[in-house]
Structure 1
């Protein structure tokens, strides 16, 4: 008998996998915005994100948009820039505290509330657009999530998934990481701050081993699940070079080079 991933116990505790994921991201909240690839560090990167959203979603023009797993509100602010009426949902209160503070400081009218991406509690057909960044690869049950997102989109509504396979390193990325590790060991390269500050790498590896995409979230696999949920058309876009090029300016040479070889993508999925 297969045991549901949702009820898998980890780390010798009585926490469910979902509880562990929530706790992990709550621990990362304090330093989340310090990492390139999370917060926006240049106007060039901001424009690159705007171009991606405009390419797939069009201008906001007052349409309603949902930022799922909104974290500290980075994507919410980008969507607000474009004229969307934005709601950000996250299940980590520490993340939401920072998101609300950031919105107040910037004078934005973005609504943030706590909710589970698989059970948003939003009414049927209530949004024109949904955006997720780096959420899908962490999902426990993507089929349930995609069905929920389909439900809360209006007919003709658009879902944009921005994600990647952060598990399987290709040959070029493996070579880059090996060279970087050798140079660090020899003292020629500073390891710098860990990307996931404030959280245990052992906890991360344990969580990763038990999520649905533990073997890596490949674009075509995700696209296939979106089609099964009823979305059509579903289009994969791997042209994120402008975003990554601008993020790379704030990374050291080897990390920037390795990131450029990763399987990263955006997927547009439309509710008929």
Structure 2
């Protein structure tokens, strides 16, 4: 499953990175995300791990905010793009290849572990969260940003809207969105099919004894343009859930 997902994301890493590069240079896009991370993580400099960093979108944003950041990803193609973006922006993020469920770091290394749109892709979410907890310092914070991308509300209207949006994405973003569609075989391995989220995520954190669980049920980072609404309005709103590792 992990190898299949790695091949899926690596296959079109280059075209996906083009839209990311535009966002990395846009204060209109970055500003709301900076506000969200400041609210959840505070303003002190932290040692942060970004799991499933992809082309470095979150890692580079956090580095720009003054944090010391390490980004890990299972896809070498994504990491190549992340390192190029890092150089282009003149930042100092440490990018490494790593498995979200088996991280190459010692216990208690990081002040915070963050991930955006990653947990839904891992084969075993409980194992992943347990591993993220392991590398956190006591009192450190785990931040999960995700969405109900495959839920029980996948109505006919939403399915038709999504199919009609794909050519618009191709034209306006100059990338092939069809390569990011999960086929039937990959969908079988997605744990969150039919699962209510973020309710399930909250249970995962409680089972691992996270404290002070913090939830934002709908993240609206900016008012969408007409094109953005037509392209992505069918999607469920993203959510953020965070919790602190129990102190010793």
Normalised-by-shorter TM-score class = 0.7 to 0.9
Q: Partner residue of 1:19?
A: 3
What is the distance in 2 between the residues matched to 1:103 and 1:35? 15
Aligned positions of 1:1-272 closer than 5 A: 17-35=1-19, 39-40=23-24, 42-61=26-45, 63-168=46-151, 170=153, 175=157, 178=160, 191-194=167-170, 197=177, 199=179, 201=181, 203-216=182-195, 218-241=197-220, 243-245=221-223, 248-249=224-225, 251-259=227-235, 262-272=236-246
What's the secondary structure of 2:111's corresponding residue? strand
Q: What SS does structure 2 have at the residue aligned with 1:116? A: coil
TM (norm. structure 1) is 0.79
Q: Is the 8 A contact 1:166 1:216 kept in 2?
A: no
* CA 1:179–1:44: 2 relative to 1, 3 Å: closer
Report the TM-score, using the length of structure 2 for normalisation.
0.86
Residues paired across the two proteins, number = 242
Distance in 2 (CA, whole Å) between partners of 1:145 and 1:35 is: 28
Greater CA deviation, 192-201 or 69-78?
192-201
Q: What is the CA-CA distance between 1:258 and the residue it aligns to? A: 2.4
Q: Which structure has the bigger radius of gyration?
A: 1
Mean CA deviation greater in 113-122 or 226-235? 226-235
Gaps of 5+ in 2: none
Distance change in 2, residues 1:180/1:127 (3 Å): closer
Q: Structure 1 unaligned runs (5+)? A: 1-16
Q: Does the aligned pair in 2 maintain the 1:137–1:216 contact within 8 Å?
A: no
Q: Give the alignment's Cα RMSD to 1 decimal.
A: 2.7
